[in-house]
Amino acid sequence: MGVISAGDYFFPHLLVEFASCHRNVTLNFTVHNRAGLLTHIADNLTDLAIMVRPPNHLDTRHQPFAPHPYVIVAAPGHSLVAAKNIILTTLMREQFMVREKGSDTWHSMVEGFGGHLGDIRIAMEIPSTETIKQAVIAGMGVSFLSAYTISRELKAGSLRVLDVRRFPLALHWYVVHCRIKRLPPVAQAFKDFLLSDGGALISKVMPLDPSIWWSRPACPTAFWHGISSTRSGVQLQRAKRQGAGTQS
């Protein structure tokens, strides 16, 4: 299976959880930018793909399994950190560190900024989220990033989320595969696992509490409910799987 680069922050935890309930199973996964992952799907080189935006030009089945918010981040000492309800024209004055064109993060940024995309002052285009984070921490500018990629920095206080109007951008994680592909049993089991447990497990591994970021959440209540969903469903599914394994 393949996953876009933003997913490698939590995906290994999902694999470990799945493997703990499915003994003697070997799982392989690769990390790609969007273009690379689309190539793997088209060339039938992966059973499942984990991404933010399913392709329009390929005949696929795609189902959302977890919320995926994108936010604007800056260093703690940035002048906009204390500002509230920042308008886009104000934000456009800042220097942006951005992911490369063709990446899922870039496509998400296109959706988030819409007609304002051409007004962004791009200081650097960097094909590494980790490098972008370090550049922002150093004070080189601001960035548009997946909230799941910055959870550690938020806890450490080395990055802050800006309170920007119309943000966070509320997207979702999707599990994707070719429509005509007959999934191997293990791949089908992992897909079912993602759809039943994936969202709650990601929330458990990388909890995102909007109340510590800003006073005016921009995402719908239902979206944040999806992020902070209860773990009881996961625990129930785990107990069922373990019980089934004991009986077999």
Spell out the per-residue pLDDT of the chain, length 248, in tens.
Answer: 899 888 888 888 999 999 888 888 877 888 888 888 999 999 989 999 999 989 989 999 999 999 889 999 999 999 999 999 999 999 999 999 999 988 889 989 999 998 888 899 999 999 999 999 999 999 999 999 999 899 889 989 999 999 999 899 989 999 999 999 999 999 999 999 999 999 889 888 887 766 545 444 445 444 544 544 433 344 444 444 444 444 43
pTM score over 0.85: no
Q: From start to end of 113-213, where are the E strands?
A: 121-125, 142-146, 160-161, 169-178
Residue count of the chain: 248
Cβ neighbors of 151 (< 8 A, separation 6 or more) are: 9, 206, 207, 208
2-67+172-247 and 68-169 have identical folds = yes
CATH number 3.40.190.10 is the correct assignment for the domain at 68-169: yes
| Domain residue extents for the chain | 2-67+172-247, 68-169
The CATH code that applies to domain 2-67+172-247 is 3.40.190.10
φ/ψ of 50, rounded to 5, equals -110, 115
The three-class DSSP label of residue 211 is: helix
